[in-house]
Structure 1
Amino acid sequence: MSGSITDVDGIEVGQHQRLETGWATGTTVVRCLAGATGGVDSRGGAPGTRETDLLAPQNLVQRVHAVCLSGGSAYGLAPADGVMRWLGEHGHGLPVGTQPHMVVPIVPAAVLFDLPRSDWGNRPGAEFGYRACAAAGDRVEQGTVGAGTGATTDGLKGGIGTASTRTASGYTVGALVAVNAAGRAVDAATGRPYGIDPGAEGDYGITIPNRPAELVALPNPLNTTIGVVATDASLDKAAAHRLAMSGQDGLARAVRPAHSMFDGDTVFAMATGTEAPIADPRVRDELGTAAAEVFTSAMVHGLLAATGLDGVPAYRDVWPEAFG
Structure 2
Amino acid sequence: MLPGPSNSLMDVAGLRVGHAQRVGGGYRTGTTVVLAPPSGAVAGVDVRGAAPGTRETELLDPRNLVSRVHAVVLTGGSAYGLSAACGVVERLADAGIGYPVAGGVVPIVPAAVIFDLGRGGTFRAVPDATFGTAAYDAACQGTVATDGGAVALPPSVAGVPWGRSGTGSPNGGTGAPGGSPDGGTDAPGWSLDGGVGSGSVGAGVGARAGGLAGGVGTASVVLPGGATVAALVVANPVGSVLDPRDGTLAGARYGLPGEFDHLQPPLQAEIDAWRPQNAPSFNTTIGVVATDLTLTKAQCGKLAAVAHDGLARAIRPAHTMTDGDTIFGLATCAGPEPDHDTLQEVLAAAADVFSRAIAHAVLAATGHEDAPAYLDVFPSAQRKQT
TM-score range, shorter chain: over 0.9
Structure 1, gaps ≥5 residues long: none
- Number of the residue aligned with 1:145: 201
Instruction: Sort the Cα spacing of 1:167 and 1:200 in 2 relative to 1 into closer, same or farther, 3 A.
Output: closer
Does structure 1 retain, via aligned residues, the 8 Å contact 2:265–2:381?
yes
- For residues 176-221 of structure 1, what are the alpha-carbon distances to aligned partners after superposition, in whole Å with 9 as ceiling and x for unaligned? 0000011000136632011122997942232332421313142541
Aligned residues, how many? 320
2:41 aligned residue (10, 25, 36): 36
Question: Aligned partners of 2:227 and 2:256: how far apart in 1?
Answer: 23
Larger radius of gyration: 2
Gaps of 5+ in 2: 143-193
1:316 deviation in Å?
1.8
Q: Distance in 1 between the 2:257 and 2:321 partners?
A: 31
**Is 2:126 the partner of 1:123?**
yes
**Cα distance per residue 1:86-112 (max 9 Å; x no partner):** 1111111111136xxx11110000000
Distance 1:198 1:26, change over 3 A: closer
3-state SS of 1:59 partner = coil
Q: How far did 1:223 drift? A: 0.2
What amino acid is aligned across from residue 108 of structure 1 in structure 2? P
Q: CA RMSD in A?
A: 1.8
Listed as ranges, the matches of 1:140-179 within 5 Å are 140-179=196-235
Residue type of the alignment partner of 2:380: E
Task: Indicate the residue corresponding to 2:94 in structure 1.
Answer: 89
Asked if structure 2 preserves the Cα contact closer than 8 Å seen for 1:306 and 1:314, the reply is: yes
Report the Cα offset of residue 276 of structure 1. 6.4
Q: Does 1:11 align with 2:70?
A: no
Per the normalisation by structure 2, the TM-score is 0.79
- Counterparts of 1:208-219 in structure 2, within 5 Å, are 208-211=265-268, 212=271, 213-218=273-278
- Tell me the TM-score normalized by structure 1: 0.94
Change (3 A) 1:275 1:159: closer
Matched, 1:254 2:314: yes
Cα drift, residue 320 of structure 1: 2.2
Alignment partner, residue 137 of structure 2: 134
201 and 257 in structure 1: CA distance in 2 versus 1, 3 angstrom threshold? farther
User: For residue 76 of structure 1, what is the amino acid of its counterpart?
Assistant: G
Whether contact under 8 Å (1:67, 1:108) holds in the other structure is: yes
Percentage of matched positions with identical amino acids: 51
- How far residue 240 of structure 1 moved from its aligned partner, in angstroms, is 0.4
Residue deviations 1:124-175, cap 9 Å, x none? 0000001101110472111011000111111211000000001122110110
Which residue in 2 is equivalent to 1:288? 347
For residues 90 and 317 of structure 2, the distance between their equivalents in structure 1, rounded to whole angstroms, comes to 38
Match of 2:370 in 1: 311
Distance 2:321 2:7 in 1: 32
